[in-house]
Chains A and B, each alone.
Chain A
Amino acid sequence: MGNLRVAGVDVGSVSTDAVILNENKEILSSSVVYSGANSQKAAAEAFRQALAQAGLERSEIAYVISTGYGRKRVDFANESVTEISCHAMGTHFLFPETRTLIDVGGQDSKVIHLDERGRVTSFAMNDKCAAGTGRFLEVMARALEVELEQMGDLFFQAEKELSVSSMCTVFAESEVISLISQGNSQADIVAGIHMSIARRVIGLLGKKGLVERLAFSGGVAKNRGALGAFEALLKTKIMVAEEPQIVGALGAALIALETCEKQLAKTGTIATSPA
């Protein structure tokens, strides 16, 4: 096979990430950039950074798969695959024992059930209500005047859990401001916020429920407080990648590799458009 290299690009609402893999499934490089208003530019920039890191030219990448909401606007991609399949594939690669995956991103959250081969068997999504997404945490961090990065640490300093019950992110912000004015500590409020988001996402588990083992991906998985809230509510140890934000792009790259291997086995060449 020689020097087969592939890439995955995940264009999300908050971040755009790229991963370059070789045929041994080794990550040669990865990058994370802010998506901003122009997803095409963000995709190109994420890819450029990943190429530079790996010391490679575009022509040396045999196949690129794009994923995420912006996947159809990535003009240098050979194919697009949904983030549901890509997150499942990426997580399965990192943690093959995963059977339930919780993915919380900037503007949606998902629960995906996978089998022992990393195939998606069912999924449920919340893309209608920001209260179960990273956006919720951003809004709350602003209301509390803390950095998003501090939220995780504050969760573990809580002495009691306050209830943040509003269905709507905007009204929850008012609720938080009210809790601040009542003299509650930042840590206690942060705990309430994280438990609220976790409860909302756990609702997506549905009848299938939690099938061990459980993994957590997406940008919000970087937040130790969110992880703590899920572990407390589900009473289980949850697996998180070192870089949870790039799991989708990693999955896309792995699918790209699988596609190339299949095509090479069948025809000896790699078609640059999907069949």
Chain B
Amino acid sequence: MTQDAISSLVRRLDTAGQTKGLMKRYYTDLRNSREEGKVMAWSYGPVPFELMRAMDIRFAHLESYGAYLAARQGQAFLKELAHRSGYSPDICSYARLTQGVHMMAQSGDTSEVRPELLIPQPDFLVAVTSCHLMANTYDFQQRQLQKPGFCIDVPFMNKWADFEEAVAHVKRQLIDFIGFLEEIKGHSFDYDRLKELMAKVKEAAMLRAYCIKMSQTHPAPMTIFDHFICLGPMHVWRGTNESVEFFKQLKAEVEYRVENKIGAIPDEKYRLYWDNLPIWFKVGRLSDKLGSLGANLIAGVYTHTYFYSHEPEKIDLDDPVGSIARELCWITWAFSNVEARTERIQKLCEDFQIDGLVMHSSRTCQPMDIGQKDMVDAIEKRLGIPGVVIDGDPTDPSYYSDAQTETRLEAFIELLASRRR
């Protein structure tokens, strides 16, 4: 089958195409922050955007920005700047791109980048420790920029019994962060505005959760790659009317597909689980490749556990700060505790009738990789579902090979096919 034929197999969602316009607007707003007299922050990790949006503060999510820039202008110059500042090539590729962005700004030479893609220097910086690498990057950059900074600590939880204590610890810090924002802006925090925002977060999250749940049908109307593409509206856009409208449209499109039994791929033979972040620069190609083999990647821990995917109906609008704290703790719990993650994978396998696991072993995100082989073994013992490990990286193509990855995926599909003989 030719690449063109393969590319036409997967049915792309119309709604997903809207994210391009939304992200373009988001970066335009960032770029115009100064002219429009808006305070602007650089943020690192799963930061509580809701609190900044409630104060009409614009925020750049540096990891996303680094990847965004790399996709449009190439990576080499950003990585080179990061390496020169002491960042090893084995460090998280998001962190290297982010550091490259900062070092470029520090150098005063932005000639490599088209002006419309640049963002202003921040008025302050904020990070969450869920991702240590990004928190370290925040620390370095905050010291260099000598701007106010705030770091929210989300602790590792060894057991579920530690969860509520962690939530209390994070909530206290979020309240301090609100005080920090009040100092920055020079006026008090608008809690009513926060409640309104959280109502929209809740509404959008519930719509999104519904769309996710629809993939429990056969054939599934979405692939996980659609979910990756549709993250923007639940990430930097959450709390807005745009976010709610986006997910209303997505729900309508997905419902139509389900009613008419239109699957994301024409001949769904295998339903697969994806572990870890996406390989952003191969989202389309992998989706097409697996589609050509009759395989749909339906569920994944990243898209189906974070971004308010977990029980959004329980978001307490009378305690928005507490709800944000719960979400931050949930992300760390589900990500860094191997047993919790295995339980999560098991639930996804059961709910979505998964036939096999595809574990993306990210070269430079070792925290996400820890325990992957144990998870595969555990799921195989519990559910009889096999897994394959593929090597990649979220944003660094030098750690990826089409031929090697596609050989492993093809071999895995052959393995699944032989189990049915």
A residues in contact (CB < 8 Å) with B? 69, 81-85, 108, 119-125, 127-128, 206-208
User: B374 on the interface (CB 8 Å rule)?
Assistant: yes
Which of B99-133 touch A at CB < 8 Å? none
Chain B residues, CB < 8 A from A121: 386, 415
- Contact residue among A123, A206, A207 (Cβ-Cβ distance under 8 Å from B411): A123
Specify which of B374, B387, B414 is in contact with A85 (CB 8 Å cutoff): B414
Given the interface pairs A69-B407, A207-B374, A207-B377, the reply to whether A84 lies near B391 with Cβ below 8 Å is no
B386 pairs with A82, CB closer than 8 A: no
Q: Is the CB of B407 within 8 A of A82?
A: yes
Could you tell me the distance between the alpha carbons of A84 and B410 in the complex, rounded to whole angstroms?
Answer: 9
Bound form: Cα–Cα A124–B418 in Å = 18
Could you tell me the distance between the alpha carbons of A122 and B388 in the complex, rounded to whole angstroms? 8
Q: A82 with B404: in contact, given A120-B418, A206-B373, A207-B374 (CB under 8 Å)? A: no
Q: Cβ of A119 and Cβ of B418 under 8 Å apart? A: yes
List 13 A–B pairs whose Cβ atoms lie within 8 Å, in order of A's numbering: A69-B403, A82-B407, A82-B411, A84-B415, A85-B411, A85-B414, A85-B415, A119-B418, A119-B419, A119-B421, A120-B414, A122-B380, A207-B374
In the assembled complex, the CB of A55 is this many whole angstroms from the nearest CB of chain B, namely: 33
In Å, the complex CA distance between A133 and B407 comes to 17
Q: Which residues of A contact B388 (CB under 8 A)?
A: 123
CB distance from A238 to the nearest CB of B (A): 23
Interface string of B277-295 (1 = CB under 8 A from A): 0000000000000000000
A69 to B404, CA, bound (A): 8
Cα-based distance from A208 to B386 in the complex (angstroms): 12
Q: Is the CB of B410 within 8 A of A82?
A: yes
Shortest Cβ distance from residue A136 to the other chain B in the assembled complex, whole angstroms: 18
Measured CA separation A108–B407 after assembly (Å): 12
Q: Can you list the 7 inter-chain pairs with the closest CB atoms, starting with the nearest? A: A84-B411, A82-B411, A119-B418, A85-B414, A120-B415, A127-B404, A207-B377
B355-392 vs A, CB cutoff 8 Å, 1 = contact: the mask equals 00000000000000000011001001000001111010
Q: A207-B373, A207-B374 are in contact. Are A119 and B415 (CB under 8 A)?
A: yes
Say whether B235 faces chain A, with CB atoms less than 8 Å apart: no
Residues of B contacting A123 in the complex (Cβ-Cβ under 8 angstroms): 388, 411, 415
Closest to B377 in A: A207
CA distance A206 to B410 in the complex (A): 21
Q: Among residues 151 to 168 in chain B, which have CB atoms less than 8 Å away from a CB atom of chain A?
A: none
Instruction: Give A207 to B421 CA distance when docked, in angstroms.
Output: 26
Beyond A119-B415, A125-B408, A127-B404, 10 additional pairs, beta carbon < 8 A: A69-B407, A82-B411, A82-B414, A83-B407, A85-B411, A108-B404, A120-B418, A122-B386, A123-B388, A128-B404
Question: Does the CB pair A128–B414 fall under 8 Å?
Answer: no
B401 contacts the other chain (Cβ, under 8 Å)? yes
B interface vs A, CB < 8 Å? Answer: 373-374, 377, 380, 386-389, 391, 401, 403-404, 407-408, 410-411, 414-415, 418-419, 421
Closest to B381 in A: A207
- B412 CB to closest chain A CB (Å) equals 8
**Distance in angstroms between the alpha carbons of A122 and B391 in the assembled complex:** 16
Which residues of the partner chain B approach A128 to less than 8 Å between Cβ atoms? Answer: 391, 404
Which residues of chain B are near A119, meaning CB under 8 Å? 415, 418-419, 421
Cα A81 to Cα B293 with chains together (Å):
12
Contacts of A122 in B (CB 8 A): 380, 386-387, 415
The CA-CA distance from A206 to B388 in the complex, in Å, is 13
Closest to A81 in B: B414
Contact A127 B411 (CB under 8 A): no
What distance in Å separates the Cβ of A208 from its nearest Cβ neighbour in chain B? 8
Residue from B374, B377, B407 having most chain A Cβ neighbours under 10 A: B407
Q: How far is the CA of A1 from the CA of B408 in the complex (A)?
A: 35
Min C-beta distance of A135 to chain B, whole Å: 15
Do B401 and A127 touch across chains, with their CB atoms under 8 A apart?
yes
Chain A: CB-nearest residue to B419: A119
Q: Which residue of A has the minimal Cβ distance to B410?
A: A82
- Whole-angstrom distance between the alpha carbons of A124 and B387 in the complex? 10
Q: Which residue, of B374, B391, B404, B418, has the highest number of chain A Cβ atoms within 10 A?
A: B418
Q: CA A69 – CA B405 in complex, angstroms?
A: 11
A83 to B410, CA, bound (A): 10
Q: Is the CB of B386 within 8 A of A84?
A: no
A221 to chain B, nearest CB (A): 20
A69-B403, A121-B386, A124-B389 are contacts. A84–B377 as well, Cβ < 8 Å?
no
Q: Which residues of B contact A206 (CB under 8 A)?
A: 373, 377
B374, B401, B414, B419 pick with most chain A CB within 10 angstroms:
B414
Q: Give complex CA distance A85, B407 in Å.
A: 11
Please give, as numbers and ranges, the residues of chain A lying within 8 Å of B401 by CB-CB distance. Answer: 127
What is the bound-complex CA distance between A81 and B408, given in angstroms? 11
Nearest residue, chain B, Cβ from A125:
B408
Q: How far is the CB of B214 from chain A (nearest CB, A)?
A: 30
B404 contacts A84, C-beta separation under 8 Å:
no
Contact of A120 among B374, B387, B407, B411 (CB under 8 A): B411
Q: How far does the Cβ of A160 sit from chain B's closest Cβ, in whole Å?
A: 34
> Inside 8 A of A120's CB, which chain B residues have their CB?
411, 414-415, 418
Closest to A68 in B: B407
Q: For A127, what are the chain B residues with a Cβ–Cβ distance below 8 Å?
A: 391, 401, 404
Return the chain B residue nearest A69 by Cβ. Answer: B403
B65 to chain A, nearest CB (A): 29
